[in-house]
Amino acid sequence: MVFLLLGMAPLLPAQDIDELKAKKQQLEKEIAFTKQQVEQMQEKRSLTLNELVTLKKQINTREAIIQNIRQQIRTYENQIAESRAVIQTLENDIEDLKAEYAKMVYHTYVNHNNYSNLLFLFSSNTFNDAFQRLRYLKAYSDYRQQQAALIRQTMESLEDEIAGIEDKKAEQESLLASARDQQQHLTQEQRQLDKKANQFKEKEEFYKRELRKNEEQAARLNKQIEKMIAEAARKARSTNREAGGGYRLTPEAIALSNSFAANKGKLPWPVERGTVVRSFGKKAHPVLKGVYTNNNGVDIATEENAIVRAIYSGKVTNTFFHPTFNRGIIISHGEYFTVYLNMKEVFVAEGETVNTKDRIGKAFTEKEDGSTEVHLEIWKGTTLLNPAQWLYQ
């Protein structure tokens, strides 16, 4: 039974804790970055929609940090509870063993004058039988002592383990207290955001109209990008015609497609430093009530003059300019395509081959509020995909 109990000793899910800690560090970096952005925007005299969106993003990220800390504390609490349950079971076993030892000692004392052990040995029929009985008596005694020592050793180990977890839990509780202080500051920031939002209301209808106009332009651009991607795909297949008259991807393009797909969730970001301020798909606007936006990719806020990088090896199929979304690039990765928008400079030309993290352009910065954002899209053929599922987290 003891061996079964030893197998019950909980293995600490260190990977879960490490993942939570890594996520917390990532969120803290986002907080620092968005805080810097807000400060830069606040240096501008005019209040802009981007400033409100960034403030909202900062509040949401800080709340995510607090939730992350709470998850870590709950994980530690579960580990401690499991360890204590095993220790309690082992303690019960030791009490049972002590009672058995007491009975054995008492039995030995009562029967000492009767030489019970000798009688047990002398009652053997053969010398070999006597030898085996002697070995049994010694092995029984050794077994009891070893098992008791093993359980005590396991208890000490588990108690040390719990002490270590308690220390970590205390550390996390301290962090939670700090996070609560941050939440108080966030409450103040929320009041500030509400105040600015109220000031913003007089321009709200103007910005709603601007958003609708941008949505219409984005929809038209989306159709243009889809046509460019379809044309690039047609050209890629035209060099590899099948006997039946159809076309298929070349073996090289298929290998590149498979390689791209195999790196889902591990692709590098198109900028070295940044945070997603607008995610993929149809979403309620973070500031404007009753307004929904549809994003074909993700918008990543970054630093002024940030270098834009290719997120994977491929071939540049298109470079173009749009009055609203500035310069753009399309890169082919077999049947997959990545689209990069809102650049003030482009460093590559159509037909050029690029490698992962190669410099392909420089991000555009809005003069009105100093915000710098890069738009990224991922397509499979003419089907839009969510870039957040492909980029490294």
Q: Is 207 part of a structural domain of the chain? A: no
Do 254 and 370 fall within a single domain? yes
Q: Summarize pLDDT for 334-356 with one digit per residue, the tens.
A: 999 999 999 999 999 999 999 99
Note the pLDDT of residue 296: 92
In the predicted structure, residue 126 carries a pLDDT above the cut 70: no
Residue with tokens 């029984």: 140
CA distance 32 to 202: 31
Q: Summarize pLDDT for 79-118 with one digit per residue, the tens.
A: 778 777 777 777 777 677 677 666 666 765 665 544 455 5
Do 193 and 57 fall within a single domain? yes
User: Which of 385, 360, 376 is CA-nearest to residue 257?
Assistant: 385
Note the pLDDT of residue 21: 80
In the predicted structure, residue 359 carries a pLDDT above the cut 70: yes
Q: Is 208 part of a structural domain of the chain? A: no
In the predicted structure, residue 285 carries a pLDDT above the cut 80: no
Q: Is 210 part of a structural domain of the chain? A: no
Note the pLDDT of residue 236: 74
Last residue of a domain, one of 201, 232, 257: 201
Identify the top-confidence range among 168-172, 197-201, 244-248.
Answer: 168-172
Do 176 and 229 fall within a single domain? no
Do 225 and 99 fall within a single domain? no
Do 75 and 115 fall within a single domain? yes
Do 251 and 124 fall within a single domain? no
Do 185 and 248 fall within a single domain? no
Note the pLDDT of residue 105: 63
Do 107 and 56 fall within a single domain? yes
In the predicted structure, residue 127 carries a pLDDT above the cut 50: yes
First to last CA, the chain: 45
Please compute the mean of the pLDDT values over residues 24-53 and round it to a whole number: 71
User: Which of 107, 15, 115, 31 is CA-nearest to residue 66?
Assistant: 31
Do 175 and 272 fall within a single domain? no
Q: Is 183 part of a structural domain of the chain? A: yes
**CATH (domain of 243):** 2.70.70.10
Q: Is 206 part of a structural domain of the chain? A: no
Note the pLDDT of residue 168: 74
Do 188 and 219 fall within a single domain? no
Residue with tokens 């940090």: 65
Instruction: Please tell me which residue, 150 or 266, carries the higher pLDDT value.
Output: 266
* Structural domains in the chain (count): 2
Domain, as residue range, for 227? 215-389
Q: Is 254 part of a structural domain of the chain? A: yes
Please compute the mean of the pLDDT values over residues 187-195 and round it to a whole number: 79
User: Which of 305, 319, 373, 374 is CA-nearest to residue 348?
Assistant: 319
Do 175 and 224 fall within a single domain? no
Do 222 and 196 fall within a single domain? no
- Mean residue pLDDT of the chain comes to 79
Paired residues of 302 in beta bridges: 274
